[in-house]
Amino acid sequence: MGNDYWNHRLFLLHADSKYIDVMERTLYNGLISGVALDGKTFFYQNPLEATGLAGKDQRSPWFGVACCPGNITRFMASVPGYVYAQRNDALWVNLYMGSSADIKMDNGRTVKMVQDTRYPWDGAVKMTVNPDQAAAMTINVRIPGWARNEPIASDLYRFEDKNSEPVVLKVNGKPVPVKLDKGYVALTRTWKAGDTIELGLPMPIRRVLANDLVSADRGRVAIERGPIVYAAEWIDNPNGKVRNLMLPDSAKLTAEYKSDLLKGVEVIKGKAVSLAFDGQGNVAEVEQEFTAIPYYAWANRGPGQMMVWIPNTVASAKPLAFPTVVTTAKVTASGKPQHNVEAIKDGETPTASNDHASYFDWWPAQGNKESVEYTFEKAAPVHECSLYWFDDTGQGSVRVPASWRLLYKDGEKWKPVETSGAFGVEKDKFNKVNFKPVTTTALRVEVTAQERFSVGIQKWTAK
């Protein structure tokens, strides 16, 4: 909301459409995503990728300091006030939506504007101008940056290719030149009741690339159609997974409106490639159906995976881990943790100990002793375990543990493993322990937190 407020004020100061471009992108994607479709739960964050296991992957019904739910309620009611702006005898058309508005001009006259459109799903907009009396004035029609091959007025994002389809503008059925000044076409004439402006904005499906300096988005693309940014969500794709997908640049994508889905949305369909490691460590590729929905509508159908920036090469993708004794195990944790402990056995490798993509901790408990257990489907031989600790130094109160130990289940008893190795507590790496081989149905890690700090685990592997 602050982003939209700020950019609207910059527009009022400079009359430049680049600020409305940011406002519109935020409004349709980063702002309304903060509220569930039923209006009952809220996001404070806008994650661009989700495992479905973290607390941030689902909206919350309320917050201890709940400033945004009330603010967004007020903001949504004020949206009609952002559609137009006026000064002296000039009118600016900033946002497109089916609507009717009575606009009082500085010169005392009133202009009624009626928009007939399915925007943002369709780029055809018909505006009917009804001044209270025929008069000379300028109507500035905004041509969005996305329709001019410019996703944003900077080098942060760019489209993968250039769209050559022209923007079409007509007044009373007659084409007029699209001559831009600060992103607007100025239509100056004597306007009378019943005059029409027709705007045709091509809406091809576009792949968006981030600046190469954004390391997290290298080798990935986002999908955009018109002002809408898309996301792949678990429920629409085979096997309920999307984080192991790769979308080749050659994959053809199509758009289809689904009136019975998520209160009516345009979806993107095509073919993607599912990636998974085999038993030899090689990556197997399988082509599958691919569906993406508007980002704002994700997390309305239960917890699961989601991804906005989709890998377009195998090298940048995250193949699914090969099933092991750990990935198929039941995992439980002591205490009353707020995060899903399933995250520690997903087979992925964190980028660092402070990687927040998928982790587990016991916060807010501090100086505590805790445990986490793997229960195997059947007795299995194991001789090695590795722990990758979660540590959010500089951001929170979770640190690597003061100490830990490893136990295995022998019948109904827990026994410590026999090892001469150290139980490491280093950050940003797997701390591996080799021990005398045992055949067991369960393993337990017991951790002791540092005084005044909590403790957490990124990943725990065993073999």
| Strand (E) or helix (H) holding 437 | strand 431-448
Cβ atoms within 10 Å, residue 279: 8
Strands (E), 226-350: 228-233, 245-246, 254-258, 265-277, 283-294, 306-307, 310-311, 330-333
The structure tokens listed for 436 are 């005398």
Predicted confidence at residue 68, as pLDDT, reads 73
Rounded Cα distance, 438 and 251, in Å: 48
pLDDT for the residue numbered 357: 82
Please name each of the domains of the chain with its CATH number: 2-200 (no CATH), 205-316 (no CATH), 330-462 (2.60.120.260)
Distance CA 109, CA 16 (A): 24
The pLDDT of residue 321: 87
d(CA 55, CA 340): 8
DSSP state for residue 238 in the 8-state scheme: G
Other C-beta atoms closer than 10 Å to the C-beta of 5 total: 14
How far is C-alpha 21 from the chain's CA centre?
19
- Whether the CB-CB separation of 114 and 197 falls below 8 Å is answered with no
Query: What is the C-alpha separation between 172 and 195, in angstroms, rounded?
Result: 6
Q: Identify how many contiguous H helices and E strands the chain contains and give both numbers.
A: 3, 30
Dump the DSSP string for 196-234.
EEEEE----EEEEEE-TT-GGGTTEEEEEETTEEEEEEG
CB 134 within 8 A of CB 190: yes
Question: Which residues are registered as beta bridge partners of 142?
Answer: 184
- Beta partners for residue 386, in sequence order: 432, 461
How far is it, in rounded angstroms, from Cα 124 to Cα 96?
A: 10
Determine the 3-state secondary structure of 298 from DSSP: coil
In this prediction the pTM is 0.89
Question: Quick one: tokens of 441?
Answer: 């149905």
What residue type is assigned to position 399 of the chain?
A: R
What is the spatial distance between Cα 257 and Cα 422, in angstroms, rounded to a whole number? Answer: 58
> Does residue 97 contact residue 117 with C-beta atoms inside 8 Å?
yes
Largest CA distance in the chain: 93
Structure tokens at 187: 């239509």
Averaged pLDDT, groups of 10, the chain, 463 residues long: 89 96 95 91 88 82 76 88 96 98 93 98 98 96 97 95 96 97 97 98 98 95 98 96 96 97 98 94 95 97 96 93 90 90 91 90 94 96 96 96 97 95 95 96 97 96 94
- Distance CA(338)–CA(334), nearest Å, equals 11
Buried b (16+ CB within 10 A) or exposed e, 146-171: bbbebbeeeeebbbeeeeeeebebeb
* Per-residue pLDDT reduced to its tens digit, 18-31: 999 999 999 999 99
Omega of the bond prior to 364 within 30 degrees of 0, cis?
A: yes
The two tokens of residue 284 are: 């197997």
* Block residue for tokens 């964050």: 45
Quick one: pLDDT at residue 15?
A: 96
C-beta separation of 446 from 420 below 8 A: no
